[in-house]
Structure 1
Amino acid sequence: MRVVATAVRAVTAAVLIGVSTLVHALPLFVLAMLKVLVPVAAFRRRLSRALVVLAESWIGFNSGLMARLGRTQVRVSGMEGLRYDEWYLVVCNHQSWVDIPVLQRVFNRRIPFLRFFLKSQLIWVPVLGLAWWALDFPFMKRYSRNTLARHPELRGKDLEATRRACAKYRDMPVSVMNFVEGTRLTADKHAQQRSPYRHLLQPRAGGVAFVLEAMGDLLDAVVDVTLVYPQGRPTVLDLLCGRVREVRVQVRRLPVPLALLQGGYDDAAARARFQDWINRLWREKDATIAGSLS
């Protein structure tokens, strides 16, 4: 009977989320088309706010569903001092696809709407890809070191793309989200990297530095988030089935470290200073996770 009840809960959650997605996506697409067709800045700003209201409503429904059907307890600390009318860069460890609905549940309507940097291929995801585009999520084309070695003319294109994306965020408060490790934690990835951290992969400082260079004058704070799953890293299916009993979320508001980037990230001394800052942040995060699990 427990297996049947779990399956029913998962199917019910999936169906309700699917219906809610379609209900919210249809007006979102209409507003997005108006935003494209009417080239009036003030009108577009109002449409952007309306699009965010729709997205927050969708997230609110999903979060409520997670709380009721999934019965997941999300324990949060450190939200004091965060506001809805400020600009933030949010950095976080990345353990599971569950991270995203957890972050949305914690921050929805408490800080400005979260925008994630997405791989360019994700724009083709049915329904969601168009929704992300309409909401001005930044789509990035990442180049490997081998590709840059063969095509040096591509070097710097990622920074240009970051600047173009962040330029859209000057008209209304935004929270730019960055999973600093660049990928989800797995045992294999941890071993391949020979990560010096017990519970984390090595951080990649470049993406954070690019956002700070592009919009550092706008940002009010860096919001450092540490996610801990006491039962181990869950899957989305675990979440839908109600098997994720508890998530612990520690939030810290930190000053924007713009002084570290004087000279730009291409400057060796500035890059070393900034990487030291990220590595220190990650050592503290690793200790936080260890303490939470002890």
Structure 2
Amino acid sequence: MLSFLPAPLLVIINLLLISINCIVIATPIMILGIFKCLLPLKSVKRFIEHLNFLLYRIWVAANYVIINATNKINWKITGDPIPNIENKSCVVMSNHLSWFDILVINSVYKGKIATTKFFMKHSLIYIPFVGLACYALGMPFLRRYTREQLLKNPKLREKDIKSTKGACKRVIKYPTALINFVEGTRYTPEKARLAKSSYQHLMPPKTGSIGLTFGEIGNDIECVFNTTIQYPNNCAPKKPFIEMLKGKITDIYVNVEILPKGYFPQGDFLKDKTYKHSISMQVRDLWKQKDENIESMLKND
């Protein structure tokens, strides 16, 4: 609708609309979050949670309208049909290319799955409005310590474990779609080179948080949505989020593979070495397949 406008003007329009959407939605979420902490009644806390989730869904819907109004997007969604399981919990595991992935996942699954919650880097909590709103919504924040930091202070690992287990408890308690970007960082060719990735289009998967998740709730979730995202005309060295602001996102390819209940069984990921190895190998096999799928997506473009 507005994609014909010049890129500099679209950047201003998109930043303005997205910022207004964030401020308008995040402000009441933060205020309600304060009331939720102060009020003792569980019924009131649950009512506030419902209100916040409703506001969050409005934010998702508004973002979908904005990006489609300012970009002429060809959405190509392939793979398994997405069932309507809004009243059940699930896990969405995905590759990670850009901040824009969050909007894409919410757009693809909107109205089909429960309210989405993302494992987020702890540093994102300091983003004005967005960070505190996500905290009020109960998003799990992980610090993602380096190997060197963990070797120096092993107790640091406990903080991420506690956050992951807390998120898992909420999944069992209330219908939730728990989103995990398994690579732990956005893919770029340079990052992949430094990480010595064996994949052509992906970072190596980090199985810690996803393995702990399956270990805690593998038998309680309805299914796992193995999601592959690609922006064939707007990938590295271009940045999809910036391309979206400029109105230049033309194609979004998403492949959905549904892994049935029990595909990742429960177990003790921290103490059972056999279980940990099994989950890690399952994820790596999926990543190998995902890498091949991306190559096929790009060749068929």
Deviation of 1:166 after TM superposition, in Å, equals 2.5
Deviation of 1:103 after TM superposition, in Å, equals 1.2
Q: Does 1:228 align with 2:230?
A: yes
User: Cα gap change, 1:245/1:3 in structure 2, threshold over 3 Å: closer, same or farther?
Assistant: closer
User: What residue number does 2:263 align with?
Assistant: 257
Q: How many equivalent pairs are there?
A: 292
User: What residue number does 1:21 align with?
Assistant: 22
Matches within 5 A, 1:22-37: 22-37=23-38
Moved more, 142-151 or 237-246: 142-151
User: What residue number does 2:56 align with?
Assistant: 55
Aligned-residue RMSD, C-alpha: 2.0
The superposition leaves residues 189-224 of structure 1 with CA deviations (integer Å, 9 ceiling, x where unpaired) of 111222221111111111111111233342111110
Normalized against structure 2, the TM-score is what?
Answer: 0.90
Moved more, 97-106 or 162-171: 162-171
8 A contact 1:115–1:137 mirrored in 2: yes
User: What residue number does 2:272 align with?
Assistant: 267
Deviation of 1:121 after TM superposition, in Å, equals 2.3
User: Cα gap change, 1:3/1:249 in structure 2, threshold over 3 Å: closer, same or farther?
Assistant: closer
Deviation of 1:248 after TM superposition, in Å, equals 0.5
User: What residue number does 1:247 align with?
Assistant: 252
8 A contact 1:162–1:214 mirrored in 2: no
Gaps of 5+ in 1: none
User: Cα gap change, 1:47/1:189 in structure 2, threshold over 3 Å: closer, same or farther?
Assistant: same
Three-state SS of the structure 1 residue aligned to 2:288 is helix
Cα distance in 1 between the residues matched to 2:84 and 2:287: 22
The superposition leaves residues 221-240 of structure 1 with CA deviations (integer Å, 9 ceiling, x where unpaired) of 11100011111413322102
Deviation of 1:32 after TM superposition, in Å, equals 1.4
User: Cα gap change, 1:253/1:3 in structure 2, threshold over 3 Å: closer, same or farther?
Assistant: closer
Cα distance in 2 between the residues matched to 1:39 and 1:209: 34
User: Cα gap change, 1:169/1:44 in structure 2, threshold over 3 Å: closer, same or farther?
Assistant: farther
Moved more, 75-84 or 275-284: 75-84
Cα distance in 2 between the residues matched to 1:235 and 1:183: 15
Cα distance in 2 between the residues matched to 1:263 and 1:103: 29
User: What residue number does 2:141 align with?
Assistant: 139
User: What residue number does 1:172 align with?
Assistant: 174
Deviation of 1:165 after TM superposition, in Å, equals 2.9
Three-state SS of the structure 2 residue aligned to 1:168 is helix
Question: What is the aligned counterpart of 2:282 among 277, 281, 284?
Answer: 277
Moved more, 126-135 or 250-259: 250-259
User: What residue number does 2:164 align with?
Assistant: 162
Cα distance in 2 between the residues matched to 1:44 and 1:170: 17
User: What residue number does 2:188 align with?
Assistant: 186
8 A contact 2:264–2:279 mirrored in 1: no
The superposition leaves residues 29-54 of structure 1 with CA deviations (integer Å, 9 ceiling, x where unpaired) of 23212211112222211211110110
Cα distance in 2 between the residues matched to 1:183 and 1:7: 28
Cα distance in 2 between the residues matched to 1:85 and 1:3: 40
8 A contact 1:67–1:73 mirrored in 2: no
Deviation of 1:133 after TM superposition, in Å, equals 0.9
Three-state SS of the structure 2 residue aligned to 1:32 is helix
8 A contact 2:30–2:136 mirrored in 1: yes
Q: Does 1:9 align with 2:14?
A: no
Q: What percent identity do the matched residue pairs reach?
A: 28
Gaps of 5+ in 2: none
8 A contact 2:36–2:48 mirrored in 1: yes
